[in-house]
Amino acid sequence: MTSQAQTLFDGRYRLEGEIGQGGMAVVYRAHDERLNRPVAIKMLRPQFAGDQNFLTRFRREAQAVAILSHPNLAAVWDTGEVNGIPYIVMELVDGDNLKTRIASQAPFSAERAVGLMIQICEGVGAAHRAGVVHRDLKPQNILLTRQGQIKVTDFGIARSLAATTSTTQTGPVWGTAQYIAPEQAAGQPVSPATDVYSLGIILYEMVTAHLPFEADTPLALAMQHLQAEPPPIRTYNPSVPVGLEHIITKAMAKKPQARYPDADALCSALKAYQRLGEQMTGPIPIIPRQAAAPTSAAGSAPTRAGAGGARGPAGATGTAPQYAPPAAPAETDWPTLVLGAVAALFVLGLIPLYWTVIQKFAGG
């Protein structure tokens, strides 16, 4: 790539150096000479250029992210192909990834972890509302700018919910083993709740500095996601508030229907926790709200180079719940009660008089 860096790539982009790589692609920092701005260019590795499966996955990323627009999603600005090698031009995020922050700074305080996760959920929620499931959420795919803004990337194995035509459809397992949902590990259809499971693990890792499951092989990890219960969060970090522990536990439920149905619902729960803080000592009550009809999207995508592992198809989305604070007890209206009692005594006092009058007329 050194020779390319000395000239304009595709007649427009001046390559400045490699900034990351993953299983199927390499990401370079570059400068867009036409628009005079820094960009990130993701190129498919040459050895995969002839593999239709990799080409499909790579192009799916551009299609998926192109339909999404949100401050917490890394934007895709252009796509192209040079000498049979496809590339994607993306927003350049000047910062590092969440995995690096966790490795050097975890466990995070509850306040910091919740603040970051709300941003992540808002980005992923935008994808869910557009009918796109990420399927490979992990800290490596979550970038932080120097100002602390979250940018979710790497939609390379994302799936459009519209692409799943049967609820019994199964398929190959894609994703990263440490963060994969049970249904994903089993090769079953995925849904927005699949992403919620991965988000729960990321939140678990932020507040404990530990992954809930660790093993020597991806298969052993998959079996733990399917069968084992994670160590209680407060075993690792007793200072984690009980209310936040309940949220994480619900997000990591084995069955999709027991989790928050999508990232918006998880975001609502976190915002409610943020408002109430230490007052929340039990499970968070939620009421369903009508979710907006998802827009059909026939694509999906990655952004920065991400590690591969285990992944799966797509399923149906659910409605996002919203926190309903308990109603305040009604105040006692003492003046009304006193007046009511006086009126009752007055009426009761008239009964003997009425009885006397009736007896007199009946006798007369």
CA distance 76 to 51: 23
pLDDT tier for residue 65 given thresholds of 50, 70 and 90: confident
- pLDDT tens profile 22-64: 777 889 999 999 999 999 998 988 888 888 887 877 777 777 7
Across the chain, what does the average pLDDT equal? 78
In this predicted structure, the answer to whether residue 290 has a pLDDT above a threshold of 50 is no
How do residues 125-162 score in pLDDT, each as one tens digit? 999 999 889 989 999 999 999 999 999 998 755 554 44
Q: Which residues are within 8 A (CB) of 167 and not within 5 positions of it... i.e. 6 or more apart?
A: 189, 315, 316
**Residue 235 contacts by C-beta under 8 Å, 6 or more apart in sequence?**
none
Q: Which residue has the higher pLDDT, 335 or 71?
A: 71
Q: What is the pLDDT of residues 162-180, one digit of tens each?
A: 444 333 334 444 458 999 9
* pLDDT of amino acid 362: 55
**pLDDT more than 70, % of the chain:** 68
Give kind and range of the element (H or E) at residue 99.
helix 98-105
Name beta bridge partners: 26: 21, 43
Please give the Cα distance from 356 to 43 (Å, whole number): 104
C-alpha–C-alpha distance, residues 91 and 228, integer Å: 39
What token pair was written down for 118?
């709300």
pLDDT tens for 77-124 read 888 889 888 898 999 998 899 999 999 999 999 999 999 999 999 999
Residues with active-site annotation: 136
Other beta carbons within 10 angstroms of residue 251's beta carbon come to: 28
User: What tokens were used for 254?
Assistant: 């084995």
Q: Which domains does the chain have, with CATH numbers?
A: 2-91 (3.30.200.20), 95-323 (1.10.510.10)
Nearest CA-CA partner of 126 in 241, 257, 297, 253: 297
